[in-house]
A = this chain, B = another copy of it.
């Protein structure tokens, strides 16, 4: 019988092969979103399809199954143990779905995305309805294949935020919703509203970029292990732990898009750049979940980047790059304006106070769909009703309502809650960090290193070695608790809106 060490070595070799495919797929995608000439796309799409198929074949191979069987419960190497668990998850996820059903589903997904695009343009949900009905049915079926303890929707949540359950979300969201709607009401009735029109004015792209690069460097983004490019849809992508790229979009009439966008993507990138190099070339070498990832981007974008102390440090530098009109805007005016609260129809345009309410609407609806409590045909009415209930506004059409997000069209049910979890995680982590150091003082003096070190030591380095809730409990010494987000928002927005 083969020595366990020798099996482990062979297993690591297989992981390297998988990782090589992952890296070139990521490179090809980065290139397709940033640099590729338009006529090159057609063949490139075929190439990416081929590579993704090769990777999928390895992930679900008999060879992989055999490694799992021979190593599970036998290896004493912690990294290999976790890698085996990760591979088993992926293996099971694929192998439990009959291959003909999976093929049909993949075709349905790509068809649905195209139909959704058209339906959104025409603001006509009825076009999309039959596709969404099928997508819901497939997801219900898959959820049953994968299995769950309590609620069928749990099986879908597991794909994005393992460990998080419907029961848990029902609890935290109901607390959060009450507090947020109260706060939004207070803000609405406040007489002391900030004036975001002071933020407008022509701000050349080059100057926005120069300022943003300064910020990125200071918060600790390593340009020797990454780069910044332009795109329509900003993103962070990890080619490898020493090549973590981000993109942004510049609006020359509104610097907020690029500046806060870069800090947001930079937050994702700091996570990826600081995963332990011991995990390189394994499936563990990346952020542990959508929600923890989002906690890092939101931590930097909002809890740091939209804080008063951040601009105490940066406002002078910012003004040296900004249009002259900012000379007449006081730091206080500026700070209040970048934190304006205003209920909006579109999730991705929402401020940090109302954002989680957008998520809760989607959560209630997709949970209902998967549980069979809601019919797809009633979705528009229910969406609009919840918008009025949670945010006090009603979308003028499906384009600004139920058709605004691509997620469901791509079959992604269980994904949305991660965004709201990211907010709660970020606030809870921030609260713990504040017990250990004076964050405001550090930020106001531009000394971000202790903060990044702490995040790296407590979160980043582990990659997927710890599950999301394990991270939260290890770091904050308690379970997920929405009170910290409420506390943070209440304090901040009560001060801004007096």
Contacts and interface: CB of A to CB of B under 8 A. Distances in A.
B46 A242 contact: no
Interface string A16-33: 110110011001100100
A412 interface: no
Contact of A44 (B31, B42, B224, B240): B240
B20 A47 contact: yes
A24 B40 contact: no
Q: Is the interface of A mostly helix, strand, loop or mixed?
A: helix
Interface string A206-225: 00000000000000001111
Contacts of A19: 47
Contact of A27 (B31, B38, B46, B241): B31
Contacts of A20: 46-47, 50-51
One complex includes copies of this chain to the number of: 2
Given A44-B243, A240-B43, A242-B43, A24 B28 contact: yes
A406 interface: no
A31 B27 CA distance: 9
Interface residues of A, number: 36
Given A27-B28, A39-B243, A40-B225, 11 more contacts: A17-B50, A20-B47, A20-B50, A20-B51, A23-B43, A37-B224, A37-B245, A42-B242, A43-B241, A44-B240, A44-B243
21 contacts: A16-B50, A19-B47, A20-B47, A20-B51, A23-B44, A24-B24, A27-B31, A31-B31, A35-B35, A36-B243, A37-B225, A37-B226, A37-B243, A37-B245, A38-B224, A40-B239, A42-B242, A43-B242, A43-B280, A44-B239, A44-B240
